[in-house]
Homo-oligomer: A and B are copies of this chain.
């Protein structure tokens, strides 16, 4: 890991050129090796950066500008193709360093399995951590056809690590019956919807550090076709933005976040990557200041 070196590819618009004095680190995790359906999210981080050139640096929603936040774009972690076990280790090492340096990790996936090593590290630093998970899928399997490292398992691992009562799921609308029953019994589970239940939850977790992981497929395929596993019946982009702003204005202390599963090859007009890049801007301006 060489955070002090300039990344040679595209960076997110208006990124700060140095790691040392940055408050936030954007990093990509080009991993899609364990997905069971359509691969391609390895190119998500690159595309989100590429289309960020079309973003204005001002958020009219938050009345803030990107120059008010120092964020460094570290580029993509060079994960070994086809080796999820080693990839998970590398992501953990990477995030540990960011956290140790007192910076806010803002990760871009890649498949959702990447959230597992991240949350392990964040939890080590913040033992009273709350995890907020927005997704179409439960991701609560113990394994996927025998494989423990799978895009279908990360949240189950998180629950086993830190207890289901510290994990809040929103927008879920697909999974096994067992997963739904598990979620209802052991977790804070708000299927189908996001904004309305979130408004009720936020005041109850005000004093705790929160890590937020967003699978882009929590949105309806109309708003985010560029992902591996489309699930009809999701939320709109307007609601997604309102969710980010609700959290920003709630006063909870967000200590890290990720957006995963953007897969550009299924996104002919780039609308999914463009939405994700706008979400990154709003997160930079709305969540990273609370630390």
**Residue positions of A touching B, CB distance < 8 A:** 6, 8-11, 32-40, 42-43, 46, 50, 53-54, 56-58, 60-61, 63, 65, 78, 80-84, 144-147, 149-150, 172-177, 180, 191-192, 220-223, 225-226, 229-234, 236-238, 240-241, 265-271, 274-275, 278
Contacts and interface: CB of A to CB of B under 8 A. Distances in A.
B176 A56 contact: yes
A230 B274 contact: yes
A246 B223 CA distance: 25
Which of A144, A150, A180, A269 is packed against the most chain B CB atoms within 10 Å?
A269
A271 B232 contact: yes
A232 B147 CA distance: 37
Interface of A is mostly: loop
Contact of A232 (B10, B233, B241, B265): B241
7 contacts: A39-B39, A54-B230, A60-B180, A80-B147, A221-B269, A223-B232, A232-B237
A238 B230 contact: no
Contact of A39 (B42, B54, B56): B42
A82 B176 CA distance: 21
A58 B175 contact: yes
B40 A265 contact: yes
B176 A58 contact: yes
Which of A43, A144, A147, A177 is packed against the most chain B CB atoms within 10 Å?
A177
Nearest to A73: B8
Nearest to A80: B147
A227 to B, nearest CB: 9
Given A81-B145, A225-B269, 12 more contacts: A6-B6, A9-B11, A38-B43, A39-B42, A40-B265, A221-B271, A222-B236, A232-B240, A232-B271, A232-B275, A233-B238, A233-B278
